[in-house]
Structure 1
């Protein structure tokens, strides 16, 4: 496809934005000997320039394939993908959130990519937080594309004033440093009481889980000894600041709190620094990053990994061509390009050196090597919709019995994940 044709394709996508996802726009004709692969990417996942570079590069190497890349908003994408997967003329390759794969497989409509993943897609080096949620009942349906995760953002001036020359590498060092920073009217850390993504990492570090599957049944697991240890550490850390016990990190937005200049640390994705600097330009260049510390200095703490996987619609008209597109997007060349363009973590641990020159992304990459995702139940979104983990955290932080509250929250998770309750 020529550059002119691609611009026409993008124009068509925009002009039929309200209907393209449901009814589709007419595909541009390729040559009689060519296959057109339709790809859905999400808005904000890649720049227009990256899409242009990838399309040019791919089509030069595959003169029998034309690409029709369409950009769609994340808002409301779930139902639209579900409908598209049931259409014979639906997209061939789709970018989906890493935690969404299970629900799409459960509803029917994705190609099993296990063979390709094991043979030539490099699955042995994939980030676990992208690979694990892309796997469902032993088969690989989602191929990791890119990742982002939380790190510790810190105020370099406050660290210097406290005489802390190096970021902590263990949990105990972290607590000691935070205590030291929690003086003179400053908060050692701002940690909201319901930041359950951060709690998840502490639970995983202890060997626990939010929920566990056995014989096809999911059960809440917050009441396990390991999960309770994770909550205990969260409580110790949260007490070293003035974060609200009954709200999450967006109420109020923690970037605004940090921007006041008296908060030494917060846990967030590195991109939050831009919001902080916009509110307080004096902090520009004074924000540092380090991975969430682990139990020992040998490896950083576990973190929740967000990001995207690539999937192929079941029954696509040309499976081989669709897989070639996935192979390219997930391959080393375009992974490095995407990571440097968007400040993402590449999909493989072996590609971390590609972002070593960016301190923020390097901190993310170190944590992503031990990243995890939420339980791969197709009903997990229902848990988050009325999140019992948040309520559990507030009850513990305000004096409730951890074991009793964890048991009650686990029971609610189990009830929500019960397939028979549909």
Structure 2
């Protein structure tokens, strides 16, 4: 839904009071435009001809379709079921590595040679494991509001010879770390069923040339029966490249690309955007109206994040001011990461239709709401659009929180691929 506050403020700034003149009694009064007519008039004009206040209105109107489509993904039965699986794994952790290491739903595709049937027991609020030598399967409710198990996630994989070590726990008596050793898959597949009907499929492949856990090539695809497809792929080379797309019923909602300047230049194929060639190593296409051009320095970003973590000491647990110090720690880390992002990740939002830069994309640390009155405060990174008049608006006001979710997933994927 188009935000009424922005639009009404525009109307207020543009409407004039028409008064009849005694000297011109026969003058026909000017008919005031409706709100919809004013928006349509603004949308029809190029961004380059509009002041920042009207650029925001045009942006909001054009982004509305994407916002609607991304918000629909929240009602996808398959995505909702996966979110509930993650929630249940948070309530009762499951060690799919033979009872050792805690995992999340996305880890299920990243192991091979691991078997067992895990069934959610709602009364006890925990998972019950049944031994199996042939399958890895989870049985659980599709929705948080449900108590009956009506969903299954079943996986199978082909093992590689890449054996990795994963930290599990610390043995205080022996003063040593306890680790798990598992093989990574070269391919894995999963099927999600709700009420015995297929709701989504997952496929993942990886190629390795060394014993390093980071593959030379990687591809992942999730397809839901309600129209959504999320694909991610990457390939190592002189310049690593990565790509991800989210489509709905065949229509591209988001298209991410990361690579060298030359690689991205080849993707800038319309005349309105040629001015940006040679200036970006990342290109995000949002529907048919927008692109985000990125000039990122991942190596420096990683080094800065490491420096940040080493420079902010974790508070001592038995301190009298532990909780307040922990809140301060979270705040400093979040603010530092936002500062590092703004330094090393230069992103701009551009109109795909006329090539006009609409806004810079910056990140700020925002304190989480604390409805449970926790003693500890937490902070999250939030994207903002910074317009040419230096005003800032949270990006999700235009593109829904769905964009931030997928952008974060893609950013994490790129970082993992750099290992």
TM normalised by structure 2 equals 0.25
Higher helix share: 1
Larger Rg: 2
TM normalised by structure 1 equals 0.25
